Amino acid sequence: MAPSNNTSLNDVLFNRAKAVIPGGVNSPVRAFRAVGGTPRFVKRAQGAYFWDADGKQYIDYIGSWGPMILGHGHPAVLEAVQKAALDGFSFGAPTEREVELAEAIIAQVPSLEMVRLVSSGTEAGMSALRLARGATGRSKIIKFEGCYHGHADALLVKAGSGLATFGNPTSAGVPPEVVAQTLVLEYNNLEQLEEAFKLHGAELACLMIEPIAGNMNFVRASVPFMKRCRELCRQYGALLVFDEVMSGFRVALGSAQSIYAQLIPGFEPDMTVLGKVIGGGMPLAAFGGKRAVMEKLAPLGPVYQAGTLSGNPVATACGLATLREISKPGFYETLGARTQRLVAGLTQAAHAAGQPFCGDSEGGMFGFFLMDTLPQNYAKVMTTDGPKFNAFFHGMLDAGVYFAPALYEAGFVSAAHTDADIDATVAAARAHFARA
């Protein structure tokens, strides 16, 4: 049935979707439940923009939650994908292209000697965890409140009542015994870190961390905190696992670990989980590390892991073409400057209206908070004024600017965003804050 003139096609589609897909979406945050209103159904995207079902144009600061670092429909990526698709969608057998992609990833991230390609960040994180446990022969793990490592059962966990106790599931369907080996600590809390290693260090398989957390908005692990994570893992024989699904190839060509390596002599994680940018928008992720650990994986070792679509030929073509473009000289300098310009512009717009606001960015990843100082952990992030954030989100959406529909998500700028896009975004923010 055709909608009447004043009915949005987004509403029509959302109602249809809700009848056949739980909540009308295939991933919860897309449902706009945190901010209210109707999700925009994307019809097509190009460069820094997408168009919704009504044909309205938006400046896109999500970029599929990170992968679209070149913007949508980059010609070189499109060409590579089209060419690969003509040769076949999936073989379930090795290809030269997956070797090339593994080599290209390893070439940029010195801590990686081997990688295994998989299809999603969740799969990569889950597999990395199994490998860490298999390689060390230990079961306990540390994670941090507010760091998201995909939706594997053992990682859907929040802090328990105290340090000596382990976490509680954050999802129904996760039996308490599955998270009984997961210790959840506060991000950037050195005291808790020391205490946890003192109590459990000898039984820890790994410490898993997002070095720049992108699922509690944008929060960096402090340098002293990261240094201590590295030292304690080494001292107790636990593996330091960097979850760089978001930050990998997004904040720097060498990923977030290259930034810590500049600040902490000799720094590197033992294992790394990657996703998003390395697939350029196709379902592709990876986990990797030192040869001695990676060779514990089947078929060489006792840790089982497999996948029909792993190393998919079209996805690897997309990832390779993306990596080729982002490896060009000056890419991150330009992207980083543009992202900083966005955060500075938004901050000035809010401050001009007397509103509290602060933000941070690295490469093409950013976060902003409607508060005076940058939060260091999840509890602080959650003190953000929710209704104020929602009003900002909707003010910007109405003006054709699409930020993440939840205050605990990071944002992303692509190489396709121009200074004019940033200026238009800042002007819309200024107008919103003047009204607020």
Distance CA(160)–CA(321), nearest Å, equals 44
Q: What single-letter amino acid sits at 398?
A: D
Q: Where are the alpha helices (DSSP H) in 64-152?
A: 75-86, 96-108, 121-136
User: What residues have CB less than 8 Å from 279, skipping those under 6 apart?
Assistant: 67, 285, 315, 318, 319, 322
The catalytically annotated residue of 243, 270, 360, 421 is 243
| 276 included as an active-site residue | yes
Selected catalytic residue, list 140, 143, 276, 380? 276
Q: Which residue lies nearer to ligand HOZ by CB, 221 or 426?
A: 221
Q: How far is the CB of 263 from ligand HOZ (least distance, A)?
A: 26
State yes or no: residue 243 binds ligand HOZ (CB under 6 A).
Answer: no
- Helix residue ranges, H only, 216-254: 223-236
Q: Which whole-number Å values give the CA distances from 25 to 141, 144, 291, in the listed order?
A: 32, 28, 40
Q: Is 123 in the site for ligand HOZ (CB under 6 A)?
A: no
| Interacting positions 20-39 with ligand HOZ (CB under 6 A) | 27, 29-30
Helix (H) or strand (E) holding 28: none
* Residue number with CB closer to ligand HOZ (277 or 294): 277
Distance CA 44, CA 49 (A): 9
For ligand HOZ (CB under 6 A), the number of binding residues is: 6
49-52 vs 57-60, strand pairing mode = antiparallel
On whether the CB atoms of residues 13 and 41 are closer than 8 A, the answer is yes
Q: How far is the CB of 65 from ligand HOZ (least distance, A)?
A: 5
Question: According to the binding rule CB under 6 A, does residue 210 interact with ligand HOZ?
Answer: no
Tokens for 196? 């946890």
If the CB atoms of residues 157 and 350 are measured against ligand HOZ, the closer one turns out to be: 157
Q: How would you classify residue 391: left for phi > 0, otherwise alpha for psi between -120 and 50, otherwise beta?
A: alpha
* Residue 30 vs 130, nearer CB to ligand HOZ: 30
CA 392, chain centre distance (Å)? 23
Nearest-approach distance from CB 269 to ligand HOZ, in angstroms: 21
Closer to ligand HOZ by Cβ: residue 158 or 296? 158
Decide if residue 409 touches ligand HOZ (CB under 6 A). yes
- Which of 148, 260, 378, 408 is catalytic? The answer is 148
Residue with Cβ nearer ligand HOZ (42 or 436): 42
65 binds ligand HOZ (CB under 6 A): yes
Between strands 285-289 and 114-118, the pairing is antiparallel
Q: What is the nearest approach in angstroms of ligand HOZ to the Cβ of residue 29?
A: 5
Which amino acid makes up residue 42? Answer: V
Question: Catalytic: 52?
Answer: no
243 catalytic per annotation: yes
Residue 310 within binding range of ligand HOZ, rule CB under 6 A: no
In a 13 Å sphere around the CA of 149, the CA atoms on its Cβ side amount to 31
Q: Is 215 an interacting residue with respect to ligand HOZ (CB under 6 A)?
A: yes
Q: Least distance from C-beta 384 to ligand HOZ, angstroms?
A: 16
Catalytic residues: 148, 243, 276
Q: Which residues bind ligand HOZ (CB under 6 A)?
A: 27, 29-30, 65, 215, 409
